[in-house]
Amino acid sequence: MSGFNEVYRRSIDEPEAFWGEAALGIDWDVPPATVHAQGRWFPDGRLNTCHNALDRHVAQGRGEQAALIHDSPVTGVVRVFTYAELLEQVARTAGMLRGLGVTAGDTVVIYMPMVPEAVVAMLACARLGAVHSVVFGGFAAGELAVRIDHARPKVVLSASCGIEPTRVVAYKPLLDDALEQAAHRPAHCVVLQRPQCAAELTPGRDLDWAAAVRAAEPAGCVSVAATDPLYILYTSGTTGSPKGVVRDNGGHAVALHWSMSHVYGAAPGEVYWAASDVGWVVGHSYIVYAPLLAGCTTVLYEGKPVGTPDPGAFWRVVAEHGVRTLFTAPTAIRAIKKEDPSGNFAKKWDLSGLRYLFLAGERLDPDTYHWASDLLGVPVIDHWWQTETGWPIAANCVGIEALPLKPGSPTRPVPGWDVHVLDADGRDCPPGTEGAVTVRLPLPPGSLPTLYRDDERFTRSYLDRYPGHYLTGDGGHLDEDGYLYVMGRIDDVINVAGHRLSTGSMEEVIASHPDVAECAVIGVADELKGQLPMGFVVLKAGAERDRDEMERELTALVRERIGPVAAFRRAVVVSRLPKTRSGKILRATMRDIADGRPYATPSTIEDPAALPEIVRAVKGT
């Protein structure tokens, strides 16, 4: 075990030497003379992320290697782009954006499905030094409008539609609705017309993607400061006050390039598949940037774990494309297990090339871990990180030294991450004692330097509670071997199928219903999705409503305002909510009841009779 221990200790004791060496894996226009100063990494270095992801590989003779495989079972199409072909597409798309007035520092919103053009759009922004903000296509118009107003893009890049297993989702009406709601007016929208649904373009504002790119001259790479932003990614499903995680160019490139070989054990030329979406941090980090920075072949999958067409979909992709490393969420594996408990669909495919299955997004339950491990016969590796951190905080770093696995733990903190579990007074908790999971500053390269246009909120949200530490917002403990156990959020963000969503935003939506007096939304444990939101609603006096009808209306309202990604389907009407005498709703106690855990009636409760009603509501009696 000395190999891992030595690497980890050096990363903590000599961070500048450690990350200075890691930076040698990246091409710099101006190599950094300073590794770290005043909380920023490589502050005097200059580079271009797109150059490091594409141009340098072509220059080094990898032009004919596959860079991107787009596998789309919902359309029946598989497309392969070599590094040279992807570079040509990105350079032309960057030229198109440049022709629309986009320059370094401008923002571009990308609202697209899982198509190659989404990856091209991100890299084209990086090529120009523009800052991209990808908004997941499952979000509703109101959510998109809020992000447009906050990011203030010069251009919006979109598509005519996304494709689900059973339906086509028209994006253009959602985009038009969002632009009607938004105060900010982008100069142009560029729309990729997909054959499944043609979009009506607004003259003077909207451009056809194919025609605009075809007419553009290729653009070269623009050198930017390592500390300049690469992208904004909004997190926690927040409405009203978006929380935009900022990622810089230099630290991001260094950390992600390092992580591919050291955390995931992936080598240049290998096929790496992160089965996620470009609207989430996993898509940004491990569909787009990290595999390409490392010279791997990345897979972009437009489909589902089941239903496109069957629970063997993932195994087909692994077999047909020679995937060596698969990274997905436990939710996906649980969905496959539910439909194919005996693993018969996996047995139809040659999976001998698969080396590792990495899982992240929510806690990995032991049943799922053992099922996948027995089925695949490869290491199943739980690991843990966040939108804010950009890459794993804790993992079994198979590229350094594979450590013994402990089900329920994402193993040890990754080199660079000085993880501490603190009690309420800021002291380190003894092994096995739960507390707040924190990281001692400075955070390693690749993590967020701030929140977009909100430095004060960044400090308040992450740094103020434990001076000298970053607060992850998760609770957990370390064991006597230094293995980390993450037990769940300590705030109001729940984890639905790997998607972090704010219960507060759902409460805002429900409270807007004319018959609702007050409400609470909690995350309830779910075998398939990790957590599902459950609403408790108190009706206004005199509002005599059928409870089933009320539940349907609230479900439709949340779907409209936040999107189907919230998976909100259960709202129960109660006569009162359990509260403390100061008026605070006892959400933690309600979660314990809903999850079937033992609970004690808090001494501060205002009306003890409120809790039995919650019990009856949860049980449907």
Dump pLDDT digits (tens) for 567-605.
888 899 998 888 765 456 788 888 888 888 888 777 557
Q: In 3D, which of 40, 17, 43, 18 has the Cα closest to residue 31? A: 43
Query: Are 420 and 551 in the same domain?
Result: no
Mean pLDDT within 151-169 = 94
Q: Which residue would you say has higher pLDDT here, 621 or 302? A: 302
Task: At 223, list the tokens.
Answer: 């050198």
Residue pLDDT, tens place only, 259-277: 999 999 999 999 999 999 9
Mean pLDDT within 330-340 = 86
Query: Are 59 and 141 in the same domain?
Result: yes
In a domain, 446, yes or no: no
Mean pLDDT within 523-548 = 86
Domain holding 503: CATH number? 3.30.300.30
Mean pLDDT within 288-305 = 97
406, 422, 438 - which closes a domain: 438
Asked if the peptide bond before residue 442 counts as cis, ω within 30 degrees of 0, the response is yes
395, 411, 438 - which closes a domain: 438
Q: What is the mean pLDDT of the chain?
A: 92
Residue 314 near residue 336 (C-beta atoms within 8 A): yes
Task: At 170, list the tokens.
Answer: 């028209």
DSSP annotation of 216: P
Range of lowest pLDDT (83-92, 211-220, 497-506): 497-506
Mean pLDDT within 422-446 = 95
Query: Are 507 and 428 in the same domain?
Result: no
Range of lowest pLDDT (170-179, 385-394, 516-525): 516-525
In a domain, 462, yes or no: no
In a domain, 165, yes or no: yes
**Residue 566, domain extent:** 493-619
pLDDT at 562 over 90: no
Strand segments, DSSP code E, in 21-128 are 36-37, 40-41, 46-47, 66-72, 77-82, 107-111
For residue 516, the model assigns a pLDDT of 86
Residue 572 near residue 616 (C-beta atoms within 8 A): no
Mean pLDDT within 37-45 = 97
Query: Are 425 and 505 in the same domain?
Result: no
The fraction of the chain above a pLDDT of 70, given in percent, is 96
Query: Are 167 and 245 in the same domain?
Result: yes
Residue pLDDT, tens place only, 250-261: 999 999 999 999
pLDDT at 239 over 50: no
Query: Are 25 and 144 in the same domain?
Result: yes
In a domain, 396, yes or no: yes
For the packed helices 503-511 and 547-561, what is the interaxial angle rounded to 10 degrees?
Answer: 120
Residue pLDDT, tens place only, 193-237: 999 999 999 999 999 999 999 999 999 999 999 999 999 999 854
pLDDT band at 240 (very low <50, low <70, confident <90, very high): very low
Query: Are 68 and 208 in the same domain?
Result: yes
Close Cβ partners of 395 (under 8 Å, ≥ 6 residues apart): 263, 358, 381, 383, 384, 410, 411, 412, 414
In a domain, 372, yes or no: no
For residue 525, the model assigns a pLDDT of 85
Number of domains, the chain: 2
For residue 566, the model assigns a pLDDT of 84
Number of H helices and number of E strands within the chain?
A: 20, 31
Query: Are 19 and 117 in the same domain?
Result: yes
Query: Are 143 and 43 in the same domain?
Result: yes
Query: Are 610 and 506 in the same domain?
Result: yes
The whole-angstrom separation of Cα 251 and Cα 41 is: 6
The whole-angstrom separation of Cα 525 and Cα 494 is: 10
Domain holding 136: CATH number? 3.40.50.12780
In a domain, 343, yes or no: no
For residue 236, the model assigns a pLDDT of 56
Task: At 350, list the tokens.
Answer: 């040659």
For residue 581, the model assigns a pLDDT of 52
What is the per-residue DSSP string for 148-189? HHHH--SEEEEESEEE-SS-EEESHHHHHHHHHH-S---SEE
Q: N- to C-terminal Cα distance for the chain? A: 54
CB atoms within 10 A of CB 242: 22
pTM of the model: 0.85
438, 464, 483 - which closes a domain: 438
DSSP annotation of 23: G
Residues forming a β-bridge with 356 = 325
Query: Are 141 and 254 in the same domain?
Result: yes
Query: Are 407 and 543 in the same domain?
Result: no
Residue 250 near residue 262 (C-beta atoms within 8 A): no
In a domain, 459, yes or no: no
pLDDT band at 4 (very low <50, low <70, confident <90, very high): very high
In a domain, 139, yes or no: yes
